[in-house]
Structure 1
Amino acid sequence: MMSCDFEIQGKLPPEAFELFAAAQALAMGLRGYISQVAEDTWKGVLQGEGKVIEAFKKFIMAAAEYVEAIREFVIKNLKDIEAYTYKTFEVQKK
């Protein structure tokens, strides 16, 4: 199992994007959260298998090609973990 921080930047409708990202993460079996930290920036944590984290990034970026709204998706601090620290994937409000 892996854990990482992530950051997404882009001009997106906040509520719709958060629900979309959370639904995809849950469908892929990922845990963690996403939170909007600025008008065009979201940060969060992903926990799950490394290949699933990478698949989530690819999926979000593929969707971005259609809406041309996501400028960047950065994964940071990728590390092995012994156990999950999140029960599910959720949208956290500021």
Structure 2
Amino acid sequence: MSKANIMTCDFEIKGKIPKEAFEMFAAAQAKVLGLRGYITQVSEECFKGQLQGEGRVIEAFKQMILSAAEYVAAVKEFVIKNLKAIDDYTYKTFEVKDKGAK
């Protein structure tokens, strides 16, 4: 009867990370975990986005990004902000957005 709480949060990843490879990696990991939302590069050393899913799955995504061998030296910081429960998803999937897209 009780469905898992859906959480939403904004996230920020900072570091000298190769754009295309990292965005594709993050999107693939999010999809494997069943997360929804998006990632976009906002500056040369910063990616931002939003995640929606179970809280423990959001934490698993963070740990996966921080421990990914090819990015472990590049990622300097992974910050989760505005974590809160929501009633339903507002994203259908996880996607990579272009810098100009809203």
Common fold by TM > 0.5: yes
Superposition map of 1:6-85 within 5 A? 6-63=11-68, 67-85=72-90
Q: When you count helix as a share of all residues, which structure comes out higher?
A: 1
2:30 maps to amino acid? A
What SS class does the counterpart of residue 68 from structure 2 fall into? Answer: helix
User: Which residue matches 1:87?
Assistant: 92
What SS class does the counterpart of residue 60 from structure 2 fall into? Answer: helix
Shift of 1:66: 5.9
Cα distance between partner residues in 1 of 2:43 and 2:71: 23
C-alpha RMSD of the superposition = 1.3
Structure 2 unaligned residues grouped into runs of 5+:
1-5
What SS class does the counterpart of residue 86 from structure 1 fall into? Answer: coil
Identity of aligned residues (%): 70
Check whether the contact 2:41–2:48 (CA below 8 A) recurs between aligned residues: yes
User: Which residue matches 1:3?
Assistant: 8
Highest CA radius of gyration, 1 or 2? Answer: 2
- The two structures have a TM-score, normalised by structure 1, of 0.96
2:47 maps to amino acid? W
